[in-house]
Structures are given as C-alpha cells and as structure tokens.
Amino acid sequence: MIGERLISCAETIAVVYAILLPSYVASCLVVNRLSRRIAAAKIQSRQTPPSQIRRDQRQSLASLAAIAAMFGTGHWLYSELGWGLAPADGVFGVAFSFIASLVLFDTWFYWFHRLIHTPRFYGRVHRWHHLTVTPVAWSNNSDRLVDNLFLQSYWLFAHFFIPAAPAVLLAHKLYDQITGVVGHSGYEHGGEWCRPTSPLVGVTHHDQHHRFFRCNYATHFTWWDRLMGTLHPDHDAELKRNLTATAALRRATRQPAE
Ligand SMILES: [Zn+2]
Ligand SMILES: [Zn+2]
C-alpha cells in the first residue's frame, strides 16, 4: 500500500517535471529570439560569460526537479488524500483563486526572499543565484535546492491556503515560470501592463535586484517593495527609460508589441 502510494506520488512528480522542463526551455528559446530583435535595448551593457550561462542551464535541470517534487507532492496529497481546501466554483471562483494565489505567492516570495538575503542565510542559501549579476533567460531557475525550499515550497502548501482547483495552481505556476524567464532576460519586454502606475513588475525590477542586490525582492507585483521601502530609488525612472528604448526599437522595426 505504502509502496503503491510512493510510486503514484513519484509518477505525479514526473508528470509535473515533464510539464515544467519543456516550459522552461521553450520560454527561454522564445524570449531569447524576441530579445535579439531589440538587441540595442539591452538593459546592462555587460555580457554574461558563456560558462556562467551553461552553469545556469545545468543547475536549472536539478532546480526544476526540486520544484516539481514540491508541486507534485502538493498535488498528490490534494488529489489522492483530499488534503487541502475545496476549490471555489464557477468563473468567479476560478478568477478569485487565481488572483488570491498570485497575491499570496508574491507575499510568500517577498518575505522569504528578504530572509535569505540576511547574512545568516545568504551564503548557504541564495548566493548561487546571485553569482549571475547580468541575468539571462536561462538564469531564472538556477538556484540551490535549499533556496527552492524557501521560495518555491509555496507549491507544496498552496492547496491548504487557497481554495484553488489543481488547474488553477498549474496555470499560476506556468505564469510564474514564464514571467520569471522573461524577468531574467535582460531586456524590458514589458509593455503598458508594467508601467510604474501598474502593480505588475517589468523586467527592470528583477534586473535591478541582480545589479543592486538589496532591493526589489518581490516577484509578481511592486506592492510589497513600495510599501516596505525596498523598491530601488531609480526603479520607476529606469523602467520608463527601458520601456521607451524598447518601444522605439519596435517602432523602428515595425514589430508588434508582445
Ligand atoms: Zn535575491
Ligand atoms: Zn534572479
């Protein structure tokens, strides 16, 4: 009985990995292709060494497996043992649970991210991710296992906090995966939706986190950074400059906005 359950849980984790890994590779390839069209609008002038990119690619294979283990175990506990909150029904319920999950994960990410930037945790937990100062799309999932235990363990517990159907959590995870890859791309791909008046982050937000280190800790929204005074003082001005540079290049090449 226990053996069957372990096999069943392992199969669920394998399915999640089979979803996350191609999503990572495909989104990196697409974002890199889009970035080449606006090459002159690169946020940082510094180039990322090829050896560093290969390091991030290799580590991502293991890091995504760790995320799949947590997401898959959470899903298995929910679907096989019924552990967690019943999903909210209807279109409103789906929309509510998706937005609630975005807000809760952003809160989870912000505070645990601040925690692992403290001297007590930084060296052993988070330093690996920051060794890439000029991130590329492939850098998104380059983390140590223990780093994932802080930032990505949300997916293990999400069904206990949010009345979300499994498909809603999977949609949120894919949103997080894709926006994370875009956020590390080094090019401001965001359009109107990430202007300083919008609560959503653009690429500039996390690019500054890699450059300046002690700022911009959130992942989906700028709310927590604005509220807690951790948004980089030049964030809004640089975001505008980067958006303007990207828009000018797109106009020049008559490329429709993504
Ligand atoms: Zn960090
Ligand atoms: Zn990063």
Question: How confident is the model over 4-38, as pLDDT tens digits?
Answer: 989 999 999 999 999 999 999 999 999 999 999 99
The whole-model pTM stands at 0.94
pLDDT for res 65: 98
**Average per-residue pLDDT in the chain?**
95
State the pLDDT at residue 258: 52
Dist. CA 250 → ligand 1 center (Å): 31
d(CA 152, CA 148): 5
Q: Which ligand is nearest to the CA of 207?
A: 2
Residue 194 pLDDT > 80, yes or no? yes
Percent of the chain topping pLDDT 70:
98
Residue 145 has pLDDT above 60, yes or no: yes
Angle at 194 between CA 246 and CA 108, to 5 degrees: 130
Q: What ligand has the least distance to the C-alpha of 205?
A: 2
For the chain, give the percent of residues with pLDDT over 90. 92
CB atoms closer than 10 angstroms to residue 43: 22
Q: What's the 220 CA to ligand 1 centre distance in angstroms?
A: 14
